[in-house]
Structure 1
Amino acid sequence: MTLEQALEEAAARSPAVIAAQARVEAAEARVRQAGFRVNPELSVEVENFAGSGELSGFRGTETTVALSQRLDLAGRRPARVAVAQAELATERLRLAIARADLAQAVREQFARAATARDRLRITTDNEARARELARITNILVEEGREPPLRAIRARSAAAQAAAELEAARADERAARATFAVLFGVSTPPESVTGDLLDLQPRTIDPEQSLEVRLAEAERLRAEAELRQQRAAGRLDPAIGLGVRHVRETGDVALVGGLSMPLPIFDRNQGNVAAARANIRAAEAGLVSARASATVRAGNAIVNVEAAAARVEALEKAAVPEAAEALRLTELSYREGRASLLELLDAQNAYRTAQTALIEARLAQALATAELGRVAAQ
C-alpha cells in the first residue's frame, strides 16, 4: 500500500470521517426543519349538552370547529434558520478538521510503518553480516590467524543480531497493524511502499487555519443564538377562525379569536443572559485559536526545515562515508590487516549512521505531516 492509496482508503472508510459526515447531514436536516412554519391547530368544542331542563341530552348543543395559527412573529423563524445555518457551518468545519486530522494520522502512521520496514531491512542485513563474520572468524581461528576468543566474540555478536532481527520483525508487524486501525479494519496491509512525503512546504496563513475558522464560526453561532433568544422573549400572538353550529335552531355562524402569552414573569431573560455569556466565551476561544495557530505554524515550518537539513547531511556524507569505511575494514580483515574489534566497530558505525538516517527521515515525515495539518483549509 502506498501513501496515496492509504489516504484514499482512509478517507472512504474512516469511522471518524463517517461520523463527522453524518453530523453534517443532521445539521442540514435541522436547517430544513428550522424553515418550516408552526403547524396550525384544529380544535373542536361542544357546549350545552347533558344538562338539565331544556339543555338535557343534545337538543341545545352548540358545536364549534376552529382552526388557529400562531403567527411566528418578531423574527422567530429567521432567527431559527440563522442558528441552524450557523450550526451547519460549524459541523462542516468539524468535518474538514476530521479529514485533516485523519490525513495527518495516516501520513504519520505510514511513516512509522515505513520506518519499521527500513529498520527491519537494516537489521536483516546486519544479521546476515554478523553470521558471515562469525563464519569467517571460525575459519581464521582454525587456521591459527585469530585466537579462539575472537570466535566467541563473533558468535555472540551474531546471536545478538539475530535477537534484534526478531524484535524488528515484531515491531514491523505491530506498525502495520496500528496502521490498519485508521481504516477501521483489523487486517493490516501486507507491506507499505513508496515515498514517505507527498507534500511540499508552502506559505501558511494562520488566520485561514481550520481551528481559527471554526472558532469564528462558533462565535457567529453564539451571536445567532442570542438573536434567537431575544426573539423568543417577544410577543407571539395566535389567531383563530372557526364555525359554530347551533343544533336547536340549525343556525351556523363564524367564530374568531386572538390569543397571546403575556410576558409578565418569563421574558426569556435567563436564556438571553446565557447567550451573551456564550458570545464572550466564543470570542475568548477565537483569540486563543489565533494565537495557537500562529505558534503552531511557525514551529511546523522550523521543524520541517531542520529535519530536511539533517536528512541531507546524513544522505550526502555520514552514511556514504560509514559504508566506505566498512567496506575497507572488511577487506582489511580478510587480509589480516584489521582486527575483529575494528571490523565490529565499523559495522556498528555503519548501522548507527543508517539508523540515524531512518530516524531523520521519520522526523521529516512527521514534521511535514504536521505542516500539512496546519496548512489545511
Structure 2
Amino acid sequence: MTFKKIAISQMLILALGGLTVHTVRAQDVPASKLNFKNYLNAVEAHSLELAAQRETIVAAEAGVGIAGIRPDPEFTYSASRETVSAIHPRPVSRGPSLSMTIETGGKRDARIKSARSNVTLTEATVAGFKQQLYSDSALAFAETCRTRDVLARKENTLKALSEIVRVNEVRRKAGDVGGIELLQSRVERDQFQADVTQSRAEATAARLALSLTLGRRVEDVFGPAVLECGFTPFERGNDIEALVPAALQSRQDVLIARATLEHARDNASLTRANRSVDPTVSLGVTSTRGYPGGFDQGGNAIDGTSRSNVLALSISIPIPLSRLNRGDIVQAESAVTQAMLGLNQAELKAEADVRTAHQRFIAARENVDHYRKDVLANANRMLEGIRLSYRNGAASLLELLAAQRSADEAYLAYLQSESDMATATVQLQLAIGEAPSL
C-alpha cells in the first residue's frame, strides 16, 4: 500500500469514527443553571397567568370583610306645617329620625362562613391551575431537551457525512472510488443538511416556547444558560396501591371538589338564614315651635300654643308571605347534592388517573431501559461492523448510509423515549398531588 493510500485510509477511519450511535452534547459552562427545578421555580415566580389567578384569592379574601358588614343606619329628616289660615303663620314642625335594620337568624355569621369557604375554594382552584401549569411546563421543558439533543445528533451526523464527502473527493483523485459514489455521498450530505436546518428551527421554537409558561423571556431570567436535562426516575413509582390513597388526600381536583361541597353547604345555610325576617327599628323626635293666639278670618278666636317635642319609637316587621315559596332552599340543597356527586366523581377519576399514569410511567421506564441496554448497543455494533466492511471494501456506500440512517433512527427513538419518561414521571407525580421533580 502506498503512502498516499495509507493517508486516505486514515482519513476515512477518522470520518467514519463520527458515525456512532452516541452523540456528543454541548458541555459549555452555563451562565446560570437551567434545570427543571429552577425552571419550575421561575415559572411559579413569573407566570403571568398564575399571577392573574392569584388575584382571585385577593378578591375572595376581601369578600370576607364585605360579608361582615352590617346594614347601614338610615337618617330621615322631615318638615311639615299646618295649612290653616290665621293672622300669624303656623310654625314648621321638624322631625329628625334614625332607623336601623336588625339582622336575625345568624345572617352575618352565615355570610362570613360562606365567604371563608369561598376563599378555601378559590385557593384550591388556583392550586389546581398551578398543577396544570406545572404539567404544561414539564411538557415544554422535556420537548426542549429532546429537540436540543436531536439537533446535536443530526449535526454530528452531518459533520461525519461531510467528512466522508471530503475523503471520497481525495479517493476519487487517487482512483479508489468512482464518480457515482462521490456524487451519492454529496447527495446524502446535502439532503441531510435540510434535516439539520429543520431540527435547528424546531429546537429554537421549543426553547422559545419555554417563555410562554414562564411569563418572561427565558434569556431575561436565565441568560444564555444551557439546558440541564438529567432526568431521574420516580423512586416511588412501583407501589401503585400506596399511590392511590395519597392521591385521594392531596390531588387538587379532589381538594377542589371537597371545597366546592363545603362552600355549597355554607351557601345552603346562608339561604336558610336569609329567610328569617329582619325588623327595622326607628327612633325620632318631632319638634313644633309654639305660636301666639289670635283671630282667624272669620273673627273667631284662636288660642296660642307653646313649643312641643314628641319622641317616637317604631318597629317595622315584614310579613313573610314570600317565604311560602321554598324555591331558594330547593336550589341550595340541589347544589349540595351536585357537589357531593362531583366529589364522588373526582375520587373515582383520581384513582383511574393514578393507575393510568402509573401504567404509562412503567411502560416509558421499560422503553428507556430497553433502548439503553439493547437497541443502542446493537445499533452501535451494526454500524461499527458496516464501517469496518466499508473500510475493507466489503460494503458499499449505500450500505454504510443505510446503517447510519438506522442508527440515527434508533437514537432518535431513544431520545423520544427519554422525553416520554420525563413526561410520564411528571404526570404520575401530579396525579398523586405532588409537586413535579425530575
Q: How does the TM-score come out when normalised to structure 1?
A: 0.92
Q: C-alpha displacement at 1:11, in angstroms? A: 0.7
Q: In structure 2, what residue type is equivalent to 1:44?
A: Y
Alignment of 1:90-129 (within 5 A): 90-129=121-160
C-alpha separation in 2, matches of 1:230 and 1:192:
61
Report how far residue 296 of structure 1 moved: 0.5
Give the count of matched residue pairs.
Answer: 375
> Residue 39 of structure 2 corresponds to which residue in structure 1?
6
Partner of 1:232: 274
Tell me if structure 2 keeps the 8 A contact 1:110–1:196.
Answer: no
2:274 matches 1:274: no
Give the greater-gyration-radius structure (CA): 2
Deviation at 1:199, TM superposition (A): 7.2
Distance 1:3 1:67, change over 3 A: same
Kindly indicate whether residue 321 of structure 2 is the aligned counterpart of residue 290 of structure 1.
Answer: no
Structure 2 distance, partners of 1:56, 1:333, is: 132
Letter of the 1:195 counterpart: C
Take 1:322 and 1:56, find their aligned partners in 2: how far apart are those partners? Answer: 121
Deviation larger for 116-125 or 306-315: 306-315
Q: Is 1:254 matched with 2:311?
A: yes
* 1:227-249 superposed Cα distances (whole Å, 9 cap, x missing partner): 21122122111212222222223
Separation in 1, partners of 2:284, 2:87: 23
Counterpart of 1:207 (choices 244, 248, 251) is: 248
**1:2 Cα shift?**
2.2
Q: Assess, with a 3 A threshold, how the Cα gap between structure 1 residues 238 and 268 changes in structure 2: closer, same or farther.
A: farther
Q: Secondary structure at the match of 1:53?
A: coil
- 1:165 — aligned with what? 196
Q: Displacement of 1:112 after TM fit? A: 0.4
What 5-or-longer segments of structure 1 have no aligned partner?
none
8 Å CA contact 1:233–1:267 kept in 2: the answer is no
For the pair 1:43 / 2:85, whether they are aligned, the reply is: no
CA distance in 1, matches of 2:168, 2:331: 81
User: RMSD of aligned C-alpha atoms?
Assistant: 2.2
Q: Which whole-Å CA distance do the structure 2 matches of 1:45 and 1:207 have between them?
A: 64
Is the CA contact (8 Å cut-off) linking 2:247 and 2:433 kept in structure 1?
A: no
Partner SS state of residue 95, structure 2: strand
The Cα shift of 1:268 comes to 6.3
Tell me the TM-score normalized by structure 2.
0.80
Q: How far did residue 40 of structure 1 move? A: 1.5
Cα deviations by residue, 1:88-107 (Å, 9 ceiling, x for unpaired): 11100011112211122111
Taking the TM superposition and a 5 Å limit, the aligned residue runs for 1:1-377 are: 1-48=34-81, 51-53=83-85, 59-185=90-216, 190=224, 192-195=226-229, 197=231, 200-202=234-236, 203-204=243-244, 205-208=246-249, 209-248=251-290, 249-265=306-322, 269-376=326-433
- Residues 199 and 345 of structure 1: is their aligned pair in 2 closer, same or farther, counting only changes over 3 Å? closer
